[in-house]
Amino acid sequence: MKPSSNEITRPIQRRSFLGGIAAGIATAATPLRVHASASNDEVRIAILGAGGKGSQLASYFAKASGAKVVMVADPDFQRAEKTAALYQAKAVKDLRKALDSPDVDAVVIATCDHWHCLAAIWALEAGKDVYVEKPLGHNQWEGRQVVRAAAKHGQIVQLGTQQRSDPMQSQIREFLHQEKALGDIQYVQANRLGLRGPVGKRTSPLPFPKDVDQELWFGPAAIQPIYRNQLQYDWHWDWNTGTGEMGNWGVHILDDVRNVAYQDSQDLPDRITVGGGRVGWNDAGQTPNVHFALLETKTFPTMIALSNLPTRPKEKSAWAINTASSPDAWPPNAPGSGYVIACEGGFFLGQRGNGQAVDHDGKVIRKFHVDANMITLHVENFIAAVQERDSSILNAPIENGHFSTGWCNLANVAFRAGGAFSQEELTSQAEVPEWNRLVNGMTSHLTEYGVDAKALKSCPTLAHDANTETFTGANSNEANRFLRREYRHGYEIKST
């Protein structure tokens, strides 16, 4: 179904509703409509995207006090109907029907990555509050437009980095920074060493499923032939629609790092050095299945290592990367999906729902865990902010989410702007010994696949200006062109 001319040329008109404007609004502008103006009002929710994540979030919002799922939108109408039926909600194909509906107060965006920002901006223009899944932006520029639109229209906007609502996080910050129990932080190593398989490689394009509206599914992205084996989920590994493992898992882990290690004092990195590639599979995926980045700041550096490959072909064990100067100077239980904060007096090992501090001998100093469901708490936090019309109580306010997404977007940009692999170039431009050891560890694993490191790409160190959110200096022109995309007619994101 191609959008009608009036759908293409709007912005969507924000609706005006009966009733007075709620007092005490703590946002930058006053909405033209009223909903959930008191803490006991029911927030009527539309789920945009009925895949695995959208269906999961629908179940949480349906159980949350003060919320009701009233509509589900998905270009695959059968998926929309299946999820909507669970909550006696209305199913629609086109998310704009949810945005136009006076029966919807807020939207939960769980679409493909390439739809996140446009759906959020259209929702804000329609006077809806927004809960949007990570990563916020398919590119960095469009994420900034969402931040501006939220301020312009005065709506409540939360990013789906659920770990921000885990009470454990504040305990970790206090332990590291107020108690300084491990001394000064020296560096951070973040890991996502999780197994995935290839997505296949067809000789002819995948026939687009007849039950899915192709025009709506691609939306702001280019309509392109697909040579992988399946449409859904594996869009993550196509630059046209996804952001790779860096955007899929990296946002969660680097958001943790920004939160507990930097205490959100570092918006975006100042220098970025990257290597990686898609190797060992010969499939139709485009994003790297091996990706490593050095993200330097004015205080201490953070590195991130991602791999979807097993230790050896056909095995089930994931990689392990040790960046210490000797094997006995690295915690033996460093998380493969999480982060290590290396300090003067030991290490903090963080992962979803758990954490522990160990000394240099591996002795556990303290363990961290709160018996709470962080998704439930995150959803409840959003509902409370909507009801109170107070964005200041959000645990993951949208600009903070934009910055956490940005660490991943910029690492992706550096990869895409890279050229022929040069290990010497990667290690000579950074005065971080642990980075050199991480690069060596990432490349040495490839020998098990008969892959030469020359099959990878690398990008020389890029300087980044956090104020303008652009690259500067050497090689910046090539990198800056990936900060924004071309949008398809009728689905443009405009400067806010």
**Per-residue model confidence as pLDDT tens digits over 401-422:** 999 999 999 999 999 999 999 9
**Per-residue model confidence as pLDDT tens digits over 43-57:** 999 999 999 999 999
Beta bridge partners of 304: 190, 293
DSSP state of 23: S
Written as one letter, the residue type at 66 is G
For tokens 């690295």, what's the residue?
330
Beta bridge partners of 397: 158
Q: Alpha-carbon distance 495 to 144, whole Å?
A: 9
Written as one letter, the residue type at 47 is I
Alpha carbon distances (Å) from 462 to 246, 271, 273, 297: 18, 6, 6, 12
Q: What is the pLDDT of residue 424?
A: 93
**Per-residue model confidence as pLDDT tens digits over 222-269:** 999 999 999 999 999 999 999 999 999 999 999 999 999 999 999 999
DSSP state of 476: H
Phi, then psi, of 329 in degrees rounded to 5: -105, 20
**Per-residue model confidence as pLDDT tens digits over 283-339:** 999 999 999 999 999 999 999 999 999 999 989 999 999 888 877 789 988 999 999
- Asked whether 457 and 416 are in contact (CB, 8 A), the reply is no
Q: Alpha-carbon distance 376 to 380, whole Å?
A: 6
When pLDDT is averaged across residues 27-45 and rounded to a whole number, the result is: 54
In terms of Cα–Cα distance, which of 439, 237, 449, 231 is closest to 323? 439
Q: Alpha-carbon distance 241 to 489, whole Å?
A: 16
Cis peptide before 75 (omega within 30 of 0): no
Q: Which range (28-32, 34-38, 190-194, 213-217) has the least confidence? A: 28-32
Query: Which three-class secondary structure state does DSSP give residue 20?
Result: coil
Q: Alpha-carbon distance 351 to 181, whole Å?
A: 19
Q: What is the pLDDT of residue 429?
A: 82
Q: Which residues are CB-neighbours of 111 under 8 A, at least 6 positions away?
A: 48, 49, 54, 95, 119, 133
Q: What is the pLDDT of residue 40?
A: 56
DSSP state of 486: -
* Torsion angle, alpha carbons of 262, 266, 272, 273, to 10: 0
The residues of the chain that CATH labels 3.30.360.10 are 168-371+403-480
The residues of the chain that CATH labels 3.40.50.720 are 5-164+377-398
Indicate the pTM of the whole model: 0.91
Instruction: Give, in degrees to the nearest 5, the angle at Cα 165 between 164 and 168.
Output: 90
Q: For 168-371+403-480, CATH number?
A: 3.30.360.10
For tokens 């022929």, what's the residue?
420
16 vs 177, higher pLDDT: 177
Q: Alpha-carbon distance 447 to 430, whole Å?
A: 25
Q: For 5-164+377-398, CATH number?
A: 3.40.50.720
